[in-house]
Amino acid sequence: MTAGRVRFVGCGPGAADLLTLRAVRALGRADVVVWSPALLDEAALREHARADAEVLAWPPARAADVLAVYDRAAAQGLDVVRLAGGDPTLFGQLREELGAARARGLAVEIVPGVSAVTAAAAALGCELAGPGVALTIVGAAAPARGAGSVGVLGAGRDGAAIVEDLRARGLADTTVCAVVVAVSRAGETVVTCTLEDLAETLSDYAAAGLTVVLAGGALADAPELG
């Protein structure tokens, strides 16, 4: 029997045609889909999910019911899709479920989706961030200064200014950072370091193409950093 798997799939802000190709493929493979009508129209779900797939609607399902699905996935080798609104890595409240799935020995994958933040900017017809215009994303209950995560898009090889900016935001030199080069493409590279060593890491690894720096927050919980 193959090992069970849970895919946490971002289904975007709600429009069916903003589902990614990867999300559609995940839905088409799933034995069980944990779904909410608040996230995705049922017609779109039925279009992409297998006809024989089990659909667990929440509500009325509760957290215990979702965990029971993970128990079955581990015991029976099931492929489960757990739909999440927007992009599940942004306020997806997945930390406990990620831990629960991994504790059961399930393979875990996160499928990114279109964030409601970028969809809102598209609705306004504007560029939300760019050269000289930083973007900070916070939840309704913003964390204390220095306690959140920071992402830097388009980081180059000269990281001194980035390091100083992150320090000014309250991040300590011991903060866990990740440098991601060619994200999602062939040759994707992830290098981890502390903030103290970030400038040197960027000098060694940053590419001419898109390089992303992630720092702080729940980053230290990522299994790839263990």
pLDDT of residue 212: 87
3-state secondary structure the chain: CCCCEEEEEECECCCHHHCCHHHHHHHHHCCEEEECCCCCCHHHHHHHCCCCCEEEECCCCCHHHHHHHHHHHHHHCCEEEEEECECCCCCCCCHHHHHHHHHCCCEEEEECCCCHHHHHHHHHCCCCCECCECCCCCCCCCCCCCCCEEEEECCCCCCHHHHHHHHHCCCCCCCEEEEEECCCCCCCEEEEEEHHHHHHHHHHHCCCCCEEEEEEHHHHHCHHHC
Query: Confidence band (pLDDT; 50, 70, 90) for 141?
Result: low
The boundaries of the domain holding residue 168 are 149-225
Same domain, yes or no: 13 and 84: yes
Confidence of residue 224 (pLDDT cuts 50, 70, 90): low
Better-scored residue on pLDDT, 123 or 100: 100
pLDDT tens for each residue of 143-178? 555 557 888 887 888 899 999 989 998 899 999 999
Mean pLDDT, residues 59-77 taken together? 97
Rounded mean pLDDT, 28-55: 96
Domain match, 185 and 87 both: no
- Say yes or no to pLDDT of 14 above 70: yes
Question: Does residue 141 belong to any structural domain of this protein?
Answer: no
* Per-residue confidence (pLDDT) for residue 155, from 0 to 100: 83
pLDDT score of 1 more than 70 = no
- Percentage of residues in the chain with pLDDT exceeding 90? 61
- pLDDT digits over 77-110, tens only? 999 999 999 999 988 889 999 999 999 999 999 9
pTM: predicted TM-score of the whole model, two decimal places? 0.83
Q: How many domains does the chain have?
A: 2
- What pLDDT is stored for residue 206 in this prediction? 85
Indicate whether 209 belongs to any domain: yes
Average model confidence (pLDDT) for the chain? 88
Choice among 14-23, 117-126, 127-136, 177-186 with the minimum mean pLDDT? 127-136
* Pair (69, 157) in one structural domain: no
CATH number at residue 79: 3.40.1010.10
